[in-house]
Copies of this chain bind each other. A is one copy, B any other.
Amino acid sequence: MKSGDGKPTITDVAKLAGVSMKTVSRVINKEPNVSEALRERVSQAATQLGYQPSVSARSLAGMRSFLIGFLFGDPGGDYTHRVEVALLDRCRAAGYHLMVEQIDAAASDVAARTAALVAQLRLDGVVLTAPITDHRDVLRVLDGARVPYVRIAPNSDDASSPQVRIDDRRAARELTEHLLGLGHRRLGFIKGDPWHAAGRLRYEGFVGAMQDAGAPIDPALVAQGSFSFESGLLCARRLLEHSPAPTAIVASNDDMAAAVIAVANARAIRVPEQLSVVGFDDAPIAQVVWPSLTTVRQPIASMAQMAADLLLARAGSRNGAAWPQPMPRLELDYELKLRHSTAPAALGLAMAAR
């Protein structure tokens, strides 16, 4: 037992176990070449003293900081939070800690913030979510500092870093095909941010499905949103005021789909009897609006975990040199969630009267 008031150090553990500092270090780092007897003796001493290795000392002396960074863009967002919790999970399991930083993509100090994070903390790796995944200044600073990073659902598909994503294009296609299969022909679409990968890909999937089905796309029924509920409100009003009105609307995310339902409710347009609506993400809001949203569920936690694992594997390797080749590009499965916001077209008032 240590009597002083300071925290026990590696020296204290070494003394108690009757070995050198270096042996304790080997045990802590799970390095090979330690006899089982010594390993056991050291572990016991560490536990007995409540020894916790100092991250700053390890970071200063060694080649690892045991710190992973998470850089996100949006100030709000359930998506971001879910990614974070999943990252936390993997980091903890690997003995790493998670630093977070928010980057306002439009701010002028983007490079400075990124630099402060990686240079002051010597991060072993960084996880990026859209739209920061494609911010030139951020990527330049990370590349310059040689900090490994993994991008979740980036816009550009280049091979400069590993990425984790779902096939947004195909998911949007399936969603659209679901509506076409219900007999809808006159479909509206609400786009997301154009510089956001998901926004672009989801629109492409919609267009592909429509073309394959020979269904015309009325440009008046395509509105430019920005993923926010408010932008969905504006777009929904525009689409629903158009004549003839669409019988179904595909929104690029659930927030905007929920906005469509809100506008429909306010105008006594019955969903899904008179108007089918689909969203994307399976955000909490999808099950909370009435009727609940048919949408696409992304495996957010799995995506984040894989991102973390890629980084942790590289940080843990003794050389830590480079990414495996070919560059990892993980594509996870999504899931179509059929709920209550979609119904056959032209069922009209018969069903509405149920």
Please state if B82 and A122 are interface contacts (CB–CB under 8 Å): no
Please state if B290 and A265 are interface contacts (CB–CB under 8 Å): yes
Q: Counting CB contacts under 8 A, is A226 at the interface?
A: no
Could you say which of B56, B66, B85 contacts A122, with CB atoms under 8 Å apart?
Answer: B56
Please state if B102 and A99 are interface contacts (CB–CB under 8 Å): no
Please state if A7 and B119 are interface contacts (CB–CB under 8 Å): yes
A56, A102, A287 — which one has the most chain B CB atoms within 10 A of its CB?
A56
Please state if A52 and B116 are interface contacts (CB–CB under 8 Å): yes
Annotate A152-194 by CB proximity to B: 1 below 8 A, 0 otherwise: 0000000000000000000000000000000000000000000
Task: Give the interface size bracket for A toward B.
Answer: 35 or more
Q: Counting CB contacts under 8 A, is A94 at the interface?
A: no
Q: Counting CB contacts under 8 A, is A92 at the interface?
A: yes
Q: Copy number of this protein in the oligomer?
A: 2
Q: Counting CB contacts under 8 A, is A328 at the interface?
A: no
Please state if A117 and B97 are interface contacts (CB–CB under 8 Å): yes
A317 to chain B, nearest CB (A): 20
Please state if A287 and B117 are interface contacts (CB–CB under 8 Å): no
**What are the residues of chain B within 8 A of A50 when measuring CB–CB?**
115
- By secondary structure, the A interface counts as helix
Could you say which of B56, B122, B262 contacts A65, with CB atoms under 8 Å apart?
Answer: B56
**What are the residues of chain B within 8 A of A120 when measuring CB–CB?**
52-55, 66, 97
Interface residues of A in 51-78 (CB under 8 A from B): 52-57, 59-60, 65-66, 75-78
Please state if B65 and A88 are interface contacts (CB–CB under 8 Å): no
Please state if B101 and A99 are interface contacts (CB–CB under 8 Å): no
| A contact residues vs B (CB 8 Å cutoff) | 7, 50, 52-57, 59-60, 65-66, 75-78, 80-82, 84-85, 88-89, 92, 97-102, 113, 115-117, 119-122, 229, 255, 258-259, 261-262, 265-266, 284-285, 287-290
